[in-house]
Amino acid sequence: MGDFKTSTFMYLLGLAIVAFVIAESLFFLIRAYRRGRQLGMSKEKLRTAITSSAVFTIAPALAVLATVLTLAGALGIVLPWIRLSVIGAIQYEVPAAEAAIEATGGTGGLTQEVTSPEAFSAAAWVMTLGSILPLVLVPFLLKKIQKSVGKVVSKDTKWGDTMAAAAFIGLISAFIGRAILGSGDASVQGDGAGVMSIIALVSSTLFMLLLQWLCKKFQWRKFEPFTMPLSMFMAMGVVMLASAVLPPEIAFIEWRG
């Protein structure tokens, strides 16, 4: 019996969804181009806009690829490919998948391959429904939220930056806390916080600071969107190197297993 996570049905489902996403993108691209021509925009200007937009998507695509690779070890390549082809981000997909796997009795979170169809199905539903909810709520609540935030920001413009920074810091703090003190299954190697999670945290932070400094130093404004995904990939490389170089009794020390 083949692996249900990479069955023919899953691949056909993934291809159908990706084909729909591409068709939808082309539909709106063509309509936007035609509308631009109707408004008197030159072909050169429209082509420049299309090219610059395409280049700008490379950086987010790298972050998406990193998320797919993170999830693929446990859920197979197809489900993460489907999920991230539509909507999603590592900040949500990873915690959602881990919570679903643990709720169905799975151990090890994303560090172990999911072999239970029930756990796989639960992860797929939680990841999908959680991403659908904002799409349903935004049309009804976004205007009210923007008005409320706008009133606060209009009184003091610094509040807008403060609230955005606070939300981002809170999100990142959850990942930092897991890397330092995250608990896991003691019987599963790599499930809890330990040497590897600290190496990943420290190396990604240092790479991010270095790349940001280089962008500021040499005015690499076009390179700035690439700093986060590149930091993620370089940190992955450091972890792989450390696991191969360090003695196992040091590399796989965990204090919250």
Q: Count Cα atoms within 13 angstroms, Cβ side, for 211.
A: 21
At 146 the pLDDT is 74
State pLDDT tens for residues 69-109: 888 888 989 999 988 888 877 778 888 888 888 888 776 66
The CA-based angle 25-84-169, given to 5 degrees, is 115
Alpha carbon distance 8, 4 (integer Å): 9
Q: Are 179 and 197 a contacting pair, CB within 8 Å?
A: yes
Q: How high is the pLDDT of residue 135?
A: 80
User: How many whole angstroms separate alpha carbon 252 and alpha carbon 256?
Assistant: 12
What does the pLDDT average to over 201-229? 85
Confidence band, pLDDT 50/70/90 cuts, at residue 186:
low
Q: Token pair 């370089």 is at which residue? A: 234
Please report the pLDDT score of residue 1 as a whole number: 45
Q: Which of 17-26, 164-173, 205-214 has the lowest mean pLDDT?
A: 164-173
CB of 201 within 8 A of CB of 209? no
Q: Looking at residue 192, what is its pLDDT?
A: 67
DSSP state of 105: T
Q: What is the pLDDT of residues 30-76, one digit of tens each?
A: 999 999 999 888 888 888 888 877 777 776 777 788 788 888 888 98
Is 12's pLDDT higher than 90?
Answer: yes
Q: What is the pTM of this model?
A: 0.63
pLDDT value for 20: 93
* Cα–Cα distance measured from residue 183 to residue 191, given in angstroms and rounded to the nearest whole number: 8
Q: Is the pLDDT of residue 165 over 80?
A: no
| Confidence label for 112 from pLDDT (cuts 50, 70 and 90) | confident
